[in-house]
């Protein structure tokens, strides 16, 4: 596997960060919240809303690019953070990047976090927000036949779960964009050993976050609602772009899911950013290699949501 991109390495050395619970939950949340984030796509309008969720009001933020016309496509975006950290503000730039890159309305979801709300709270919130988006398509001015789901890391897990539940509920999705997702829940995969001490996210950090979110379950045999890669039936799911990073414990997790989707007849692209690490989308616009990898995923999302334009 190629080494970490030189520019990326310099950025990591200048701004070291790990998604770790070593100093406790609140320290992890504060550290993540306080990370420097360059502004992205200020031209994209944003409006906060509260919708009905499974356990009460659920906050969402609706992003609309200036190019979005009537009946624009829409993307339900689910942030990462190990199911423990992250919120609408810390993922504001990434949501804006999806809206601009896909030329689509984006609905970002402030789902409930563990340990206050362990599994299945986040998954329930994610699907409730998806149903709300579909049911309120006319009000939002979006095309109910061009809906997609996207998420990074823990959000990739939730997005994959939403795609499965949407299929089972007869809710058609046009695409699923999964950024370095955790879907298999299988620490025996080689990348967990190979990248045990990778930057941003280590194998030990994955284990600690997993316990906080789902430690009340038998994680040696997780249910498909937690580990979408364990689902008995993958056929009939929305086409997917699965993006993984070479220097990430979760690399083989996402790659294995892509293999299973392909074997089930699902159209899937696996994108391996061999010289990057977990969380690279956050460095798009700063590190050229991260920008290029992010642009590949967003181009796939845009093509799926604008098929007529893609065919020209």
Distance CA 189, CA 192 (A): 6
Catalytic member of 125, 143, 205, 248: 248
In the annotation, is 79 catalytic? no
Q: Which of 79, 241, 278, 306 is catalytic?
A: 278
Decide if 227 contacts 255 (C-beta within 8 A). no
Annotated active-site residue 210? The verdict is no
188 is known as an active-site residue:
no
What is the distance between the alpha carbons of residues 240 and 253, in angstroms, rounded to a whole number? Answer: 15
Which residues does 34 contact at the CB level (< 8 Å), separation at least 6?
none
Q: From the candidates 153, 191, 202, 210, give the one annotated as an active-site residue.
A: 153
Number of other residues whose CB lies within 10 A of the CB of residue 274: 16
Query: Tokens 């689902």, residue?
Result: 231
**Residues with catalytic roles:** 153, 248, 278
């Amino acid at each position: 596997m190629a080494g970490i991109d030189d520019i990326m390495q310099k950025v990591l050395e200048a701004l070291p960060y790990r998604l770790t619970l070593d100093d406790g939950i609140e320290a992890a949340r504060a550290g993540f919240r306080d990370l420097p984030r360059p502004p992205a796509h200020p031209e994209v309008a944003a409006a906060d809303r509260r919708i009905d969720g499974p356990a009460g009001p659920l906050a969402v933020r609706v992003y609309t690019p200036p190019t979005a016309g009537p009946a624009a496509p829409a993307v339900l975006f689910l942030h990462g953070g190990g199911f423990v950290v992250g919120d609408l503000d810390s993922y504001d730039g990434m949501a804006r990047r999806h809206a601009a890159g896909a030329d689509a309305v984006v609905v970002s979801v402030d789902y409930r976090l563990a340990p206050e709300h362990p599994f299945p709270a986040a998954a329930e919130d994610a699907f409730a927000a998806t149903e709300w988006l579909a049911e309120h398509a006319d009000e939002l001015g979006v095309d109910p036949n061009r809906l997609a789901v996207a998420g990074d890391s823990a959000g990739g897990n939730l997005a994959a779960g939403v795609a499965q539940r949407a299929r089972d509920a007869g809710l058609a999705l046009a695409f699923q964009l999964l950024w370095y997702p955790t879907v298999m829940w299988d620490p025996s995969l080689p990348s967990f050993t190979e990248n045990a001490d990778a930057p941003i996210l280590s194998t030990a950090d994955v284990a600690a976050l997993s316990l906080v979110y789902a430690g009340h379950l038998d994680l040696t045999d997780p249910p498909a609602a937690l580990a979408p890669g364990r689902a008995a039936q993958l056929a009939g799911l929305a086409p997917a772009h699965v993006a993984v990073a070479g220097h990430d414990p979760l690399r083989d997790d996402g790659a294995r899911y892509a293999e299973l989707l392909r074997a089930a007849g699902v159209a899937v692209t696996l994108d391996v950013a061999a010289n990057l690490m977990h969380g690279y989308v956050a460095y798009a616009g700063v590190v050229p290699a991260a920008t290029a990898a992010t642009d590949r995923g967003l181009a796939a999302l845009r093509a799926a949501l604008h098929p007529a334009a893609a065919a020209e």
